[in-house]
Structure 1
Amino acid sequence: MITVLKGTILHLPWTEKGSNQNSSSDSDKQDFIKGALMIIIGCVCWSCFVILHAITLRSYPAELSLTAWICLMGAMEGTVLTLIIERNNPSSWSIHFDSVLLAYVYSGVVCSGVGYFFQGVILKDKGPVFVSVFSPLSMVIVAIMASFVLGEEIYTGRVSGAFVIVIGLYLVLWGKSRDQQSPHTSPRRINSSQMNSSNLLDLNL
């Protein structure tokens, strides 16, 4: 809903500068569809990664060293992929002290390093469902920051999609809280059933 649906434009004071851009071409519509498909694929891949992360933490419970291994393997895979894609463009390896380098450093240190570490800590405590349920919030945060920082226009479709994401997040967290409360009543049932079975054994004896 956030990427495909548009609707009417919300005229906000900070987006008036970028409202003169023409973005109603057919190529833009195709980009919206491609973007939605890429988001679906990204959500599936991210879900698989969260599940594998949770499984790995059971046999390797060191979050910090596991984060280092994840970042190292990601750097190696990214290097190989860049060598294949940019094999005819050696200038892509040049380093310039500008905002691009700052974005790379921030993405590697904060988004990957710090993010994976805290993800591992929360995975051990809350489980993969609790971690993955917050992933769609990144699209809402990106839409809000793009409006403030880049001056992108906000449509009613994006607002409705963000509303659906927040409602879904609340419902999942509510369901998880109910699941965590339910085991407290099960020991009583188990103890009562064990007492009944022990009484029957005593009578038989």
Structure 2
Amino acid sequence: MWGASVTAVMVLTEFLDVGLNTVNKAAMNRGLSDFVLVLYSNIFAIFILAPCIFIFYRKRTPPLITWSTICKIFLLGVLSYAGQICTYIGLGYASPTLASAMADLTPAFTFLFSIISRMEKLDLGIKSSHAKSLGTLASISGALVVTLYKGMPLTGTPSKNRLLDEVLVIPQSNWIVGGFLLASHSVIFAIILNVQTWIIRGYPAEMMVTLICNIFVAILSSVVSVIVEKDPNAWRLGLNMELIAIVYTAAFAVAFRSVVHKWALRKKGPIYVSMFKPLGMVIALAMGITFLGDKLYLGSLLGVAIIAIGFYAVIWGQAQEDKMVADTEICDSEQSSTKHPLLSNRGLVV
């Protein structure tokens, strides 16, 4: 039941994530500063999370936090700030399409860092490890096919590759800088997933960790923003696209998505969470065809099929590993009952 719940919430998160880059890009084109966006969105997220935590822990006690956990969360805050800055500056130089393409590299980096940090075990003698490894490679390949290859049109009249169209519009130097920063975010985000798993398995309070992390990010961002952003007009907000972008980023990306990721990381691990990034390309493609009248191309159809196969392989591998863990726990419980028969029958205890 929990496995299906985690998958459903992660898919919903990717649906909400599809429009985030587009909204932020539109706001940046209207003059929204990258540094102001990071600062305001984290401050707003603090005011969103604080009452939620108060309500959630009103009748229960949160886990006791230690200085060691606070230091770990501070490290997470530094990484989160670096990742957000790379994302928004890179998005300003490039485009939402390139941002989606670079995000598809996240599973590869996450897989590598998870093996190095031993968050995930790679046993090539087990079918579940084979499935997760091949599924990760398939999903990355499928996402790249969707982004970079169109093929013959299956509906309507042919048009150029969207990514190539954007290359012609955006100067090559900006495109290279933006691509490098967005790729850097994929590396940082892969590290963040492993660090969050490390923290949340020792301190299982997702909202508390997210709130403390946001406070650290807000402090770091305020120091950097005051130094970097000299234009006083950049700090003014009105009822416009800039405000929509900040509220959207705060409520969804900084608060809701962060909590959901930590919850899924605690239950499933970093590779599982990273696998939903290529799925975002499928969602964006389907929504474009359904609501915007975009044309369907052979490359897109092939890419979606490859992503679906890879995604299913990883989900199947994760399910097999969860089953093995459950079977091991049951076996250990039965052995314990056999060794201590008095514990298995309270009626025999005087």
Q: Which residue number corresponds to residue 339 of structure 2?
A: none
SS at match of 2:239: coil
In structure 2, the gaps of 5 or more residues are 1-143, 336-350
SS at match of 2:148: coil
Q: Which residue number corresponds to residue 188 of structure 2?
A: 45
Q: 2:251 aligns with which of 80, 100, 109?
A: 109
CA contact (8 A) 2:167 2:175 kept: no
Relative to structure 1, the CA distance from residue 52 to residue 24 in structure 2 (aligned partners, 3 Å threshold; closer, same or farther) is: closer
Pairing 1:70–2:232 present: no
Relative to structure 1, the CA distance from residue 59 to residue 39 in structure 2 (aligned partners, 3 Å threshold; closer, same or farther) is: same
Superposed displacement of residue 98, structure 1: 1.7
SS at match of 2:277: coil
SS at match of 1:136: helix
The structure having more radius of gyration, on CA atoms, is 1
Task: Quote the Cα distance in structure 2 between the aligned partners of 1:131 and 1:94.
Answer: 36
Q: Which residue number corresponds to residue 171 of structure 1?
A: 313
Relative to structure 1, the CA distance from residue 124 to residue 72 in structure 2 (aligned partners, 3 Å threshold; closer, same or farther) is: same
In structure 1, the gaps of 5 or more residues are 192-205
> What are the within-5 Å matches in structure 2 for residues 127-142 of structure 1?
127-142=269-284
- Name whichever of 153-162 and 99-108 sits farther off: 153-162
Task: Quote the Cα distance in structure 2 between the aligned partners of 1:33 and 1:166.
Answer: 30
Superposed displacement of residue 61, structure 1: 2.2
Task: Quote the Cα distance in structure 2 between the aligned partners of 1:84 and 1:159.
Answer: 48
Q: 2:202 aligns with which of 45, 59, 70?
A: 59
CA contact (8 A) 2:268 2:318 kept: no
CA contact (8 A) 1:3 1:36 kept: no
TM-score, reference length from structure 1: 0.67
CA contact (8 A) 1:3 1:35 kept: no
Residues 173-200 of structure 1 deviation map (CA, whole Å, 9 limit, x = unaligned): 1111122223426949xx7xxxxxxxxx
Pairing 1:5–2:149 present: yes
Query: What RMSD over aligned residues (CA atoms) do the two structures have, in Å?
Result: 3.9
Aligned length: 185
Q: Which residue number corresponds to residue 80 of structure 2?
A: none
Superposed displacement of residue 55, structure 1: 0.3
Relative to structure 1, the CA distance from residue 27 to residue 81 in structure 2 (aligned partners, 3 Å threshold; closer, same or farther) is: farther
SS at match of 1:96: coil
CA contact (8 A) 1:147 1:153 kept: yes
- Aligned identity (percent) is 28
TM-score, reference length from structure 2: 0.43
The structure, 1 or 2, with the larger RCO (C-alpha pairs under 8 Å, 6+ apart) is 1
Q: Which residue number corresponds to residue 122 of structure 1?
A: 264
